[in-house]
A and B are shown apart, each in its own frame.
Chain A
Amino acid sequence: DAGITQSPRYKITETGRQVTLMCHQTWSHSYMFWYRQDLGHGLRLIYYSAAADITDKGEVPDGYVVSRSKTENFPLTLESATRSQTSVYFCASSPYASTSSSYEQYFGPGTRLTVT
């Protein structure tokens, strides 16, 4: 499918387990982002990547790990899930600015994660 996809869409896991959320985009966008959305906090940036093999922390990176070996994929791993990581996770991508004057981000459908 064209665009940006996330899997799984829903996930229930137990405290302490490792969980990986997948994000895949078909546009060859340079930039990719992971956000979490919680009531009262809006969208908070977890990690972002400017290109393959280039990643950096966002506002709330603790407890999360990312990798980006290929431009199109940007998985997010919760190394040892905690209840506070129960949230809706959105992946987004953005083209490199030299091809556009805009940093508009395109969002995936989201993954609803519950940690019990």
Chain B
Amino acid sequence: ELKVEQNPLFLSMQEGKNYTIYCNYSTTSDRLYWYRQDPGKSLESLFVLLSNGAVKQEGRLMASLDTKARLSTLHITAAVHDLSATYFCAVDLPGANSKLTFGKGITLSVRP
């Protein structure tokens, strides 16, 4: 059974500082997805990582994938209030019929 773990589950960040959050998964997969969810809203796709060593960047966020370690990191540069949200990672398995297994999400809160 594929398990996807995110940690920490809650992170209070100070504006202007850098942080890294993690997503571990239990079974070999080459594809990992990051989503963002604002309070009361739906999930919005952030990054799609499709191979070992993949790196994607959007603004202050950079995501990377290490399939050998079964680990994805989401690095936040100079946190700003607008980044306050819950971030989910999800993994799919070959042959899983397009199903994604989601982590429980990490809630980030940026304080002045």
Q: What residues make up the interface of A, taking CB atoms closer than 8 Å to B?
A: 30-31, 33, 40-43, 45, 48, 50, 56, 58, 90, 92, 94, 96-97, 101-110
Contact = CB atoms under 8 A, between A and B. Distances in A.
Contacts of B90: 105
A42 B31 contact: no
Given A101-B50, A103-B31, A104-B48, A58 B99 contact: yes
Interface stretch (B17-25, B69-77, B101-109): B101-109
A50 B50 contact: no
A43 B97 contact: no
A50 B41 CA distance: 26
Given A31-B97, A102-B31, A102-B48, A42 B102 contact: yes
Given A94-B98, A102-B50, A103-B98, A108 B42 contact: yes
A33 B90 CA distance: 14
Contacts of A105: 33, 45, 90, 98, 100
Nearest to A91: B42
Contacts of B88: 42-43
Contacts of B33: 102-105
A92 B105 CA distance: 18
Given A42-B104, A102-B31, A90 B99 contact: no
B78 interface: no
A104 B89 CA distance: 12
A94 B92 CA distance: 12
A92 to B, nearest CB: 8
B97 A56 contact: yes
A104 B50 CA distance: 10
Interface string B34-75: 010000011111001010000000000000000000000000
Nearest to A97: B98
B100 A103 contact: yes
